[in-house]
Structure 1
Amino acid sequence: MIVLIDGDCALCVGLVEWLGRRIPAEKLTPECIIFVPGESDWGTVLLAEVGVTAFDSVVVLNNGHVHQEGDAVLALSDVLPRRWKVLAALGRGVPRPWRDALYRWVARNRLNWFGRKEVCPIDSRVAAVTYGPRGLLHRP
């Protein structure tokens, strides 16, 4: 799974930190998940390869599927413990137009509400699976 995030957005970086505290250690490896700033060189290439032209805040590439908006957030449950998978299943019960409208509303306001991150606070556990200026992983 490759998770492309807005590397300057405090909410997006916070999502990576939140995931890093909840993803089981055996899944927090480059073989299972990689976080990539969408505006990085590799992120730009990945987005172009899958045809995403309007990158906003989170895109998930997983098993040949491109997940955007509300589906991207729900796809992250694949690497989380069971209780989060159950919550995501409930979220999938909400009609996609409603999920996506909520996602777009938050995405539109996230910088005003949460601000930008000038310095990346990602801890070393998550940085090991983060590519780009905010992480340690070298492009595979």
Structure 2
Amino acid sequence: MAEPKTPYAYRDDPEIPAFDDNKALFVFDGVCVLCSTGAAWLMRFDRKRRVNLTSAQGELGQGLYRHFGMELDESYLLIADGRVYTASTGYLKLCQILGGPWHLLRLASLIPSGFRDWMYGHIARNRYRWFGKTEFCALLSNEERQRLI
């Protein structure tokens, strides 16, 4: 994945629908049981609604994956402050955004990023086999689906 030269470079990409990027955006695999469960968890614990969510299968998600030169199987995407974060670094950034007790999980940054990303990659590559697939966003409640952009 190529890191953008400037923040918010995706705004100039005509393949990406406009979206509110004043908040972080978490782009997740909407057919993955683990990912959809994680998105629902994020919605429950993000009481201040600091993070918007969208599925990788939607128009916005697909456009962002193309823009950043990534395949869905590589990682989810976290767009914050105009920059993209993935794998373990993205989760550390997400903990920072959520604040409160989640901020403490940033202690995981003491673990070398190579090992953190290797663990993330191992789970990501096996997520369908270990956790399964479901219908698009089927594990989200109607209220949670309404939060997707």
Range class of TM-score, shorter chain: 0.7 to 0.9
**Cα distance 1:112–1:80, how it changes in 2: closer, same or farther (>3 A)?**
same
Q: Is the 8 A contact 1:58 1:73 kept in 2?
A: no
Following superposition, the deviation at residue 81 of structure 1 comes to 4.4
Matched residue SS, 2:147: coil
Give yes or no for the alignment of 1:111 onto 2:128: yes
Greater shift, 15-24 or 52-61, is seen at 52-61
Give TM-score scaled by structure 1 length. Answer: 0.79
- Measured in 1, the distance between the counterparts of 2:135 and 2:72 equals 20
Q: Among all aligned residue pairs of Structure 1 and Structure 2, give the percentage whose two residues are the same amino acid.
A: 27
CA RMSD of aligned residues (A): 1.7
The 2-side partners of 1:123 and 1:11 are apart by: 15
User: Where does structure 2 lack aligned partners over 5 or more consecutive residues?
Assistant: 1-23
Which residue of the other structure, out of 60, 66, 71, is the alignment partner of 1:42?
60
Distance 2:135 2:85 in 1: 27
Instruction: Determine the structure 2 residue equivalent to 1:12.
Output: 35
**Helix, strand or coil at the partner of 2:123:** helix
Quick one: structure 1 residues 91 and 129, their matched pair in 2 at CA, closer, same or farther if it must change by over 3 Å? same
Q: Aligned pair in 2 of structure 1 residues 75, 124: CA closer, same or farther (>3 Å)?
A: farther
Aligned equivalent of 2:96 = 78
How many residue pairs end up in the alignment? 124
Give the drift of 1:121: 2.3
Give ranges in structure 1 of 5+ residues lacking alignment: 132-140
